[in-house]
Structure 1
Amino acid sequence: MTRDRWIVTVAAVVWIAGMLFGTGLIGGGVSAQGGGLFSDEATLIAPDGPAFSIWSVIYVGLAAYVIWQWLPASEGSRWTESSRIPAAVSIALNGVWLFVVQADLVLVSVIVILGIALSLGWLVHNVSEHPRESLTTDIVIGLTFGFYLGWVSVATCANVASYLVGIGVPADTATAEWITVGVLVMIVALVAVLLYRAVHRSLRFGIAASAVWGASWIAVGRFTGDTRSDIVAYAAVATALLIALLAIMMFLRREGRPTGTEAF
């Protein structure tokens, strides 16, 4: 366990270093990189600017997790033990993503964010194998990594779109609009699978809340921003509503694999 704790801590150092670049304290910040490909107006699926404030919530949760997993109170927590390595991978890759964006390596950023999504899926699988433990683990692990995964599910699609625009795929055609609608449908399907696999309500709530947040801000960006599209905007509204409905249905379900417990 001590080895795994140090792995999480080293991952946090990589993450913090990348965050200094991503926030603009060092360098120009994410939105200024890649010739503006990461701005909220670069693609039809880019969420409007305020959407990215969710990173503050996720980062606070990740910091709490790094501290929590060192505390004596985490001893014997199967959630904590089973989450450390996938959590470390997702935390470190967040920092790496911020570094490669600063280097204008847009294709590499797609690969890295896919790695983040896979590591978070791994974490959800591990945690879902164990019964609910406490309100603390619900918040520090369930909600934190649920928020992280739900947001990354939306952000991955936006990242791929940024790469495609960067290599010359038009972002303002009717074809691009309908492709974006198709991607939004895929987000609904992906979130549905994640909600089913995440048997704990804290995970489900986090995943759904951040995905709804992202889809809602995509709608705002397409209704009001410079990159306008009524088709995409209404599809994003429908996406947010469908995910919310799925979340309510899943939230009311009892846990699956772990029996004899009740999720948050």
Structure 2
Amino acid sequence: MNLPSCCSRPSSSEPPARLNHKNILNLIAFIANIVLVYGIGNAGWIGTPTNGELSDKYQTIVTPNSSAFSIWAVIYVFQALFAIGQLLPKFRAVDMVQKGVGYWHCLVVTMQIGWTFTFAYEVIEASLYYTESDGSLWEFWLLRFPFAIHGGWITAASALNVNVQVVSMEQPSDVQLAVGIISLAVLHAISVWVLFNIPRPNWTIACVLSWALGWIYNELQDPLDMIKDTFSADTISGVAYAAVAVAAGIIPLQILIRLLLLVRPSWNPYKSAAVVDNADEEQSLKESLKEQDDVG
């Protein structure tokens, strides 16, 4: 079976590729992320308030229940698998690691660590990012899923950070409500975009956004006194229903897409991409054989 070009490996007759600086930097970035983000943001090692304490201080109308943040355990587990897996001979030189992930992992970790420091010192600024994912299906869990789930959560967290900024600036309740509603609309738009308007639908990001929105609804069932004092009961209920409606709507969208792909396999973007990748691989092989014949 031909492998897509994005996942190409040296042939078994060639010696395994050596570790390079990108492999080492990915490992260092993961360790720094665990030590600094967890140590400062969650454990308060340098004596600053934890992220949880600051989240309560700057409670917003779209702050999810604290249980939502348990997703970090999943993120760290799969990023640990990536950090270790990309050191192995089988994966260290694949294009997904060297060209796809490249330096992006290090950059994201650097920004996340910086956000943890600034949040701990209560310099609340919106942080914005990313995750671009590409590669073969069989590499999904090791090389793609860790970044897709992280990207989905950072997207939700970025929307929350905008609301935190508004609260920290002591804006009136109508401004807070407007920003909260816009945030829900943006998250819904992103979920639709990653499912419909990119070459390969990203189910993971959409599911993570649904997770975050569901926990926003859960939190608003029994909000903190700060929220009760700022917004009326009808407003709180309205935002809660909006959040759960968006969260519940994302899953049927995914089911609809999957059913359409079953009915119309030709619409499957993964299949189309694989055909293109294999065609490129075969063309490259033909050119290589032709060059060898010319030399002979």
Please say whether Structure 1 and Structure 2 have the same fold, judged by a TM-score greater than 0.5: yes
Query: Which residue pairs with 2:274 in the alignment?
Result: 259
Matched to 2:109, the amino acid is I
Letter in 2 for 1:69: Q
CA deviation after TM superposition for structure 1 residue 215, in Å: 0.3
Other-structure match for 1:167: 169
Distance in 2 of aligned mates of 1:208 and 1:40: 29
| Percentage of pairs with the same residue | 21
Paired residue for 1:236? 243
- Cα-to-partner distance string for 1:188-223 (whole Å, 9 max, x where unaligned): 11222233465556xx23212211110000111112
Cα distance 1:164–1:216, how it changes in 2: closer, same or farther (>3 A)? same
* Cα pair 1:40 1:221 within 8 Å, conserved: no
Residues 1-264 of structure 1 correspond to what in structure 2 (within 5 A)?
Answer: 2-18=20-36, 19-24=38-43, 26=45, 27=47, 28-32=49-53, 36=54, 38-39=55-56, 42-81=59-98, 82-107=100-125, 110=126, 113-114=127-128, 117-118=129-130, 120=131, 123-124=132-133, 127=134, 130=135, 132-134=136-138, 137-170=139-172, 173-174=173-174, 176-196=176-196, 199-200=199-200, 204-226=202-224, 227=227, 229-251=236-258, 252=261, 254-255=268-269, 258-260=273-275
Paired residues in the alignment total 238
Answer whether contact 2:167 2:176 (CA < 8 A) is retained. Answer: no
Deviation larger for 243-252 or 11-20: 243-252
SS in structure 2 at match of 1:39 = helix
**Unmatched tracts of structure 2, length 5 or more:** 1-18, 229-235, 262-266, 278-296
* Contact persistence 2:194–2:206 (CA under 8 A): no
- CA distance in structure 2 between the aligned counterparts of 1:58 and 1:198, rounded to whole angstroms: 23
Kept in 2: contact 1:47–1:221 (CA 8 A): yes
AA partner of residue 113 (structure 2): G
Q: Deviations over 1:219-254 (max 9, x none)?
A: 111122223500110000111022222333444462
Question: Deviation of residue 86 (structure 1)?
Answer: 1.4
SS in 1 for 2:122: coil
Q: Residue 146 of structure 1 aligns to which amino acid in structure 2?
A: A
How far the C-alpha of 1:178 sits from its partner, in A, is 4.3
Amino acid at match of 1:206: T
- Please give the alpha-carbon distance, in whole angstroms, between the structure 1 residues aligned to 2:91 and 2:211: 31
Which amino acid counterpart does residue 27 of structure 2 have in structure 1? T
Q: Distance in 2 between matches of 1:88 and 1:209?
A: 25
Q: Secondary structure at the match of 2:56?
A: coil
**Aligned partners of 1:40 and 1:47 also within 8 Å:** no
1:144, 1:40 → 2: CA distance?
A: 30
Question: Scaled by the length of structure 1, what TM-score is found?
Answer: 0.80
CA distance in 2, matches of 1:55, 1:151: 9
CA contact (8 A) 1:150 1:191 kept: no
Aligned counterparts of 2:69 and 2:108: Cα–Cα separation in 1: 18
Measured after TM superposition, the shift of residue 76 of structure 1 is 4.5
One-letter code aligned to 1:218: I
Point out the structure with max Rg over C-alpha: 2
Report the Cα distance in structure 2 between the residues aligned to 1:104 and 1:40, rounded to whole angstroms.
10
Cα offset, 1:106, TM superposition: 0.9
The 8 Å contact of residues 68 and 215 in structure 2, kept in 1 or not, is answered as yes
1:89 is displaced (CA, Å) by: 1.6
Give unmatched runs, 5+ long, in structure 1.
Answer: none
Please tell me whether the aligned partners of residues 47 and 214 of structure 1 are also in contact (alpha carbons under 8 angstroms): yes
After TM superposition, the score normalised by the length of structure 2 is 0.72
CA RMSD of aligned residues (A): 2.5
